C-alpha cells in the first residue's frame, strides 16, 4: 500500500508541462486556505498506465493539459455531459472505481466574460466571433452558446470551422473574410489560435484591427505575453480587453472547488498568476 502520509496530492499532467503556471496558482490557494495539499506538474508519456500509477500513489485530483484532453476520455469511469459535448476533459477526480472527468475550461470562459460586463448587463443575444477552430475553441464556443450568444466561427481552414459550426450550431467563415467586415460587426471577439504567443507569431494577430471599436470586447486565450498584438490592437481602438490568464484562473478556481468542496481564494490565485506572469515577461525581455 502507498498513501501520502502528510499532504493530499494534486497535479497537472501533460507533455510538456515545464512552463505550467498551475502549480504556482494552486499551491498559493492551498497555502492561503491552510490546506495540507501539494500540486505538482508532471510530464506523462503513457497515459493509461500513468493514470493508474498516479491513482495508486494517492493523487486525488488532476488537471489535464495538452496533448491529452481528448485521449484521456478513453480511460475514465465517468464523464459529465458538458465535457462529453465539448469532446474534451481537463479535470479528473479520483472516485471509488477510477477517475471521473469534467471540463472546467468552458466555466473559465463564462466567469471571465461575466466579470467583463457591468453587473446587471447580460450576454444573451450578443454577437460573438470566435477566431480559430482547434481544440481550445470548442470549450469557448460551448461557453458562448450556453450564455445565449449568437456565434460565428472564422478559421484559416474553412472546413474545420464548418465542422464545429455544425456541432455547435454556429455560422462558419474563412479567416480572410474578416477583412470585409467593419467595426462593431461583433460585440465580442475571442481569439483562440496560438498566434501571438511567445515564439509563435508573437508580433502578429489573425484579426484585422478594423473590427475593434469602443463597445466591443476582445478576449484572447493566449496569456504569454499578457498583451498580445490582438489585445493591443483592440485597446488602441477603444475596445475593452479580457486577458488570456483569466480563463486559466477561473478554470483553476472551478477545479479547486470540485476537488475540495470549498470556496477557492480567487484573489490570492489571481495575484499569484499575475506575479508569475510579470516575472516571466521580465525574464523574456532580458533574454532579447
Ligand atoms: P489544436 O488546438 O487542435 O491543438 P492548433 O494547431 O493549436 O490546434 O490550432 C488551433 C487553431 O489555430 C486552428 O483553428 C488553426 O487553424 P487551422 O484549422 O487552419 O489549422 C489555428 N491556427 C494555428 N496557427 C495559425 C496561424 N498561423 N494563422 C491562423 N490560424 C492559425
Give pLDDT tens digits for 32-53. Answer: 999 999 999 999 999 999 999 9
Task: Determine the atom of ligand 1 nearest the C-alpha atom of 156.
Answer: 19
Out of 56, 69, 111, 146, the active site residue is 69
* Beta-ladder partners of 240: 217
Give the three cell numbers for residue 231: 489585445
Residues 173 and 134: their CA atoms lie apart, in Å, by 14
Please report, for residues 31, 85, 260, 279, the alpha-carbon distance to residue 26 in angstroms, rounded to integers and kept in the order given: 9, 27, 12, 17
Q: What is the mean pLDDT of residues 85-97?
A: 95
Give pLDDT tens digits for 134-166. Answer: 999 999 999 999 999 999 999 999 999 999 999
In 3-state terms, what secondary structure has residue 254? helix
Our answer to whether residue 49 is catalytic in this structure is no
* Beta-ladder partners of 43: 14
Whole-structure pTM value: 0.96
| pLDDT value, residue 120 | 84
Q: Which of 82-86, 141-145, 158-162, 277-281 has the least mean pLDDT?
A: 277-281
User: To 5 degrees, how large is the angle CA 106–CA 109–CA 115?
Assistant: 145
* Closest residue by CA, ligand 1 atom 16: 156
Q: Comparing C-alpha atoms, which of 277, 220, 273, 221 is closest to residue 249?
A: 273
| CA neighbours closer than 13 Å in the CB half-sphere of residue 77 | 11
pLDDT at 64 over 60: yes
> SS3 for 48-66, per residue?
HHHHHHHHHHCEEEEEECC
Q: What is the phi/psi pair of residue 110, to 5°?
A: -60, -50
By most ligand atoms within 8 Å of CB, the mutation choice from 65, 130, 156 for ligand 1 is 156
* Closest residue by CA, ligand 1 atom 23: 193
Amino acid at each position: 500500500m502507498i498513501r501520502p502520509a502528510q499532504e493530499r496530492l494534486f497535479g497537472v499532467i501533460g507533455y510538456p508541462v515545464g512552463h505550467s503556471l498551475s502549480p504556482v496558482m494552486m499551491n498559493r490557494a492551498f497555502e492561503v486556505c491552510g490546506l495540507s495539499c501539494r500540486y505538482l506538474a508532471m510530464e506523462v508519456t503513457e497515459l493509461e498506465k500513468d493514470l493508474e500509477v498516479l491513482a495508486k500513489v494517492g493523487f486525488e485530483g488532476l488537471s489535464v493539459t495538452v496533448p491529452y484532453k481528448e485521449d484521456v476520455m478513453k480511460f475514465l469511469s465517468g464523464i459529465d455531459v458538458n465535457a462529453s459535448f465539448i469532446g474534451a476533459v481537463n479535470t479528473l477526480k479520483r472516485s471509488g472505481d477510477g477517475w471521473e472527468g469534467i471540463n472546467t475550461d468552458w466555466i473559465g470562459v463564462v466567469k471571465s466574460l461575466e466579470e467583463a460586463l457591468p453587473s446587471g448587463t447580460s450576454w444573451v443575444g450578443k454577437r460573438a466571433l470566435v477566431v480559430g477552430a482547434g481544440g481550445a475553441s470548442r470549450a469557448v464556443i460551448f461557453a458562448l452558446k450556453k450564455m445565449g450568444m449568437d456565434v460565428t466561427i472564422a478559421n484559416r481552414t474553412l472546413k474545420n470551422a464548418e465542422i464545429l459550426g455544425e456541432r455547435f450550431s454556429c455560422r462558419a467563415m474563412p479567416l480572410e473574410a474578416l477583412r470585409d467586415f467593419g467595426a462593431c460587426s461583433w460585440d465580442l471577439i475571442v481569439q483562440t489560435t496560438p498566434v501571438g504567443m511567445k515564439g509563435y507569431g508573437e508580433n502578429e494577430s489573425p484579426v484585422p484591427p478594423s473590427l475593434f471599436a469602443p463597445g466591443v470586447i476582445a478576449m484572447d486565450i493566449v496569456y504569454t505575453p499578457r498583451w498580445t498584438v490582438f489585445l493591443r490592437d483592440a485597446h488602441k481602438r477603444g475596445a475593452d480587453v479580457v486577458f488570456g490568464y483569466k480563463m486559466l484562473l477561473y478554470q483553476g478556481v472551478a477545479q479547486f472547488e470540485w476537488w475540495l468542496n470549498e470556496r477557492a481564494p480567487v484573489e490570492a490565485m489571481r495575484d499569484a498568476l499575475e506575479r508569475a506572469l510579470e516575472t516571466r515577461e521580465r525574464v523574456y525581455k532580458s533574454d532579447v
